[in-house]
Amino acid sequence: MDALPVAALRNRDRSRHAAPQVFEQLREMITSLTLAPGTVLNRLTLQQEFGLSSTPIRDALLRLQDDGLVEIFPQHATVVSPIDLTLAHQAHFLRRSLELEIVRSLALAPEPRLIARLQGFLAQQQALMEAEDFEAFAAADQAFHQHLYEAAQMYDLWTLVRSRSGHIDRLRRLHLPTPGKAQGIVQHHRLIVQAIADGEPEEAQRHLRDHLSGTLSHVDEIRAKYPGYVRG
């Protein structure tokens, strides 16, 4: 495998256990497609790049295997897994179910400070979209949704959603550069925020449902453009 970004390695927090940080960094590289499906992860290379022993590397890879993001072939290789459509659909169902209730609850009791913060996210996303910085845009998109969970005091549910979203996140990342996709995301976010601000829970739910349905309806196009990346 290619060398890992040096900046990521330097950011390792020495006060925390190493394995979770290796897991988080590798997971981010997989979901952002820096490590594409089919990439071989050599354990010795990972040990050298992270400056760690075999144990934290093994533990991180086992967690990635539990999330379906890598396939471990004993005594042979560890490979970044293809995008599993079954797992992507399950993650989508979970996220949609939770977020429909979250935006409803926020719209039933709109708070001006929350609206102001969400509008700040919208401004950031607009700027990143115009700059065509899709990596930063994807992170800002996640931050917008995370803030909805936090505003509803559903912190642990965001952690649950993120732990299940590796496959759908990769589909979205492949779809994001498609002309009009980023603009659609910003527009949907804007409509969701407006519905919350106006105290219209049904409208907030309708716009959220439209927002989260986009990528899965384009699976055939994504599969044709990235053969070998998608399974199922």
Rg from Cα positions in the chain:
19
For position 121, what pLDDT does the model report? Answer: 95
- 105, 194 Cβ separation under 8 angstroms: no
75 and 88 belong to one structural domain: no
Q: Quick: pLDDT tens for 112-134.
A: 999 999 999 999 999 999 999 99
For position 7, what pLDDT does the model report? Answer: 43
Number of folded domains that form the chain: 2
CA 65 to chain CA centroid, nearest Å: 17
Written as six digits, the tokens of 218 are 């384009």
50 and 17 belong to one structural domain: yes
32 burial level (CB within 10 Å; 0-12, 13-18, 19+): middle
201 and 106 belong to one structural domain: yes
204 and 123 belong to one structural domain: yes
**Which residue, of 81, 106, 132, is where some domain finishes?**
81
65 and 138 belong to one structural domain: no
Report if residue 196 sits inside a domain. yes
10-residue stretch averages of pLDDT, the chain, 232 residues long? 48 74 94 94 90 92 95 90 96 97 98 96 96 94 96 96 94 94 96 98 97 88 92 84
190 and 110 belong to one structural domain: yes
181 and 110 belong to one structural domain: yes
Nearest-5° Cα angle at 58, 77 to 136? 85
116 and 75 belong to one structural domain: no
Report if residue 1 sits inside a domain. no
**Which residue, of 81, 101, 131, is where some domain finishes?**
81
What's the CATH code of the domain at 73? 1.10.10.10
pTM of the model: 0.87
User: Beta-carbon neighbour count of residue 74 at 10 Å?
Assistant: 6
**Which residue, of 81, 109, 144, is where some domain finishes?**
81
Report if residue 114 sits inside a domain. yes
For position 215, what pLDDT does the model report? Answer: 87
67 and 154 belong to one structural domain: no
46 and 97 belong to one structural domain: no
73 and 124 belong to one structural domain: no
89 and 176 belong to one structural domain: yes
For position 3, what pLDDT does the model report? Answer: 47
User: What residues make up the domain containing 39?
Assistant: 6-81
Amino acid letter at 40? Answer: V
